[in-house]
Amino acid sequence: MGLFNIMKIAIIGGGTAGMAAAYFLDKQHEISAFEQQPILGGNIRTLNKNVTGVALDSNVILDNGVIEFRRENFRIFIA
């Protein structure tokens, strides 16, 4: 068990930060993640692809992702 006791931790939000925190904390603790939307991802979504865009023409696909989310900066998260 190590130096710390296992804790029950609630993660509020299923975006990038929430899912990364849940992933790393799950190795040592009991994690519950809460997301109000029916899909995970937070701001990293594509409207009309994996999230319906109510005001968009069905042929328009709009990336709603985080511009600074670069693969070379997040190697562990992407792995």
Q: What is the pLDDT of residues 19-58, one digit of tens each?
A: 999 999 998 999 999 998 887 877 776 665 655 666 767 7
What pLDDT, on the 0 to 100 scale, is given for residue 15? 86
CA distance 76 to 24: 10
The alpha carbon dihedral of 15, 20, 25, 30 has a sign of positive
Q: How far apart are the first and last CA of the chain?
A: 25
Please choose, from the candidates 44, 47, 38, 49, the residue with its C-alpha nearest in 3D space to the C-alpha of residue 20: 44
